[in-house]
């Protein structure tokens, strides 16, 4: 076991914030300076941003340029409900007010610090204050202590973790390519449903069958939420195939309320929520379950397979998002009028089943990659814990 000292992060680096130039002054935007916001924090290595600033915009705002190697951390954003975005500036960049940049002193390797902060995410996320903009106190981050081995040892730890991280990234990339392949196979076999160049019969989504809305059992009756029956809500729709939900309800709820039991292999999608501002989640229930009122389940009355129907919706995400409206209180929703403008192709059922067979092969490959990725994630967590203890 090591005898490394533990030093507070605030004693080892300078922590700076950023800002946003006035949006109504065009001369502030479109320059050569990357301006990093939480939306850009989906990568470990931060080189560029969706929006850039001019020298004038930087000079006349609270935004500031932070040097190459700065550790970037999101300190205010809705994403802090479930994750802590951390990255490293691989170019000098400006940041907005929802970010902090940690500029390391001579005793601390910035990559080592970034890895350590990411490893401490479970602790840091407990500091988050749920407000209109979830945030945590930067003072607590300054007070967080970090084991401080010699720089040579810090670099060795970074090298091991970077290598393990690269393996994880390759698995995630392989999974992403398989997801793209399923979309390509659909387009190759059937074409774009909106254009329908292959002239298949087509019906609006509202005529495929019954579009069932779920509900939420009363929270005033505790027994409603004691059971093992899956109850899916939009937060569960992060996978194509759903086998279990975060929340469960009493198995007798469908006998006691109007909530219906939905059979396995039913296509479900989100019809209400801010996620519809940028994404259209579609999944297939692979188990008997229930859903909440922010979703629809498609119970077909025509000959259509669930895999085919789900992909028919996924490949036209942009068209579907164009049908989304905004309620008076600002919530995004896909109403009946919008759903009536979503086309569903109806090729021969034999062709749909041929598509399903191809997708099943890809699904098996994807599952193998996902299992391998899960193993790598566990290995990475174990490596982090041992390395920062000096036990490896």
User: Tokens at residue 247, please?
Assistant: 């929340």
- Which pLDDT score is estimated for 333? 94
pTM of the model: 0.76
Candidates 3.30.1360.120, 3.90.220.20, 3.90.550.10, 1.10.10.1590; CATH matching 6-148: 3.90.220.20
- Residue 297 burial (10 A CB sphere; 0-12, 13-18, 19+): buried
Q: Distance of CA 167 to CAs 26, 85, 160, 369, Å?
A: 42, 20, 11, 12
Q: Measured between alpha carbons, how far is 250 from 231 in angstroms, rounded to an integer? A: 10
Q: What does CATH list as the number for 201-346?
A: 3.90.220.20
Candidate from 84-88, 178-182, 217-221 with smallest mean pLDDT:
217-221
User: Which helix (H) or strand (E) covers residue 165, if one does?
Assistant: helix 151-190
Residue scoring higher pLDDT (231 or 219) = 231
- Tell me the H-state helices in 191-246: none
Q: Give the model confidence (pLDDT) of 193-215 as tens digits.
A: 999 999 999 999 999 999 999 99
Q: How far is it, in rounded angstroms, from Cα 160 to Cα 89?
A: 20
In this prediction, residues 108-116 reach a mean pLDDT of 97
C-alpha–C-alpha distance, residues 289 and 261, integer Å: 6
* R_g of the chain computed on alpha carbons: 25
Identify the pLDDT of residue 186: 96
Mean pLDDT score across all residues of the chain:
93
Residue 280 near residue 270, CB atoms below 8 Å: yes
Confirm if 25 and 110 have CB atoms less than 8 A apart: no
């Amino acid at each position: 076991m090591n005898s490394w000292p533990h030093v507070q992060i605030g004693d080892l680096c300078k922590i700076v914030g950023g800002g946003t130039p006035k949006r109504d002054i065009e001369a502030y935007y479109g320059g050569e300076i990357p301006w990093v916001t939480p939306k850009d924090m989906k990568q470990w290595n931060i080189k560029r941003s969706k929006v850039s600033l001019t020298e004038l915009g930087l000079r006349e705002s609270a935004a500031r340029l932070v040097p190459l190697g700065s550790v970037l951390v999101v300190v205010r954003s809705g994403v802090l409900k479930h994750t802590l975005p951390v990255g490293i500036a691989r170019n000098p960049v400006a940041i907005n007010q929802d970010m902090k940049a940690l500029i390391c002193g001579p005793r601390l390797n910035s990559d080592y610090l970034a890895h350590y902060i990411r490893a401490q995410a479970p602790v840091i996320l407990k500091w988050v204050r749920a407000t209109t903009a979830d945030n945590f106190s930067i003072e607590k981050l300054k007070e967080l202590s970090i084991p401080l081995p010699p720089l040579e040892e810090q670099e060795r730890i970074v090298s091991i973790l970077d290598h393990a991280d690269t393996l994880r990234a390759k698995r995630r990339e392989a999974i992403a390519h398989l997801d793209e392949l399923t979309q390509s196979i659909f387009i190759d076999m059937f074409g774009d449903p909106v254009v329908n160049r292959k002239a298949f019969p087509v019906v609006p989504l509202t005529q495929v069958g019954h579009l069932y809305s779920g509900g939420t059992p009363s929270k005033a009756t505790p027994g409603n939420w004691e059971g093992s029956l899956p109850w899916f809500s939009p937060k569960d729709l992060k996978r194509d195939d759903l086998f279990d939900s975060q929340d469960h309800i009493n198995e007798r709820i469908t006998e006691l309320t109007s909530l219906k039991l939905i059979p396995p292999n039913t296509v479900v999608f989100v019809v209400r929520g801010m996620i519809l501002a940028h994404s259209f989640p579609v999944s297939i229930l692979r188990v008997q379950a229930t859903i909440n009122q922010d979703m629809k389940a498609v119970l077909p009355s025509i000959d259509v397979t669930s895999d085919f129907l789900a992909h028919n919706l996924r490949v036209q995400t942009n068209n579907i998002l164009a049908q989304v409206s905004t309620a008076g209180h600002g919530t995004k929703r896909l109403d009946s009028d919008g759903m009536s403008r979503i086309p569903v192709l109806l090729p021969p059922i034999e062709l749909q089943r041929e598509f399903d067979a191809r997708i099943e092969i890809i699904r098996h490959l994807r599952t193998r990659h996902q299992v391998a990725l899960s193993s790598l994630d566990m290995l990475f967590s174990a490596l982090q814990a041992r390395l920062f203890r000096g036990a490896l």
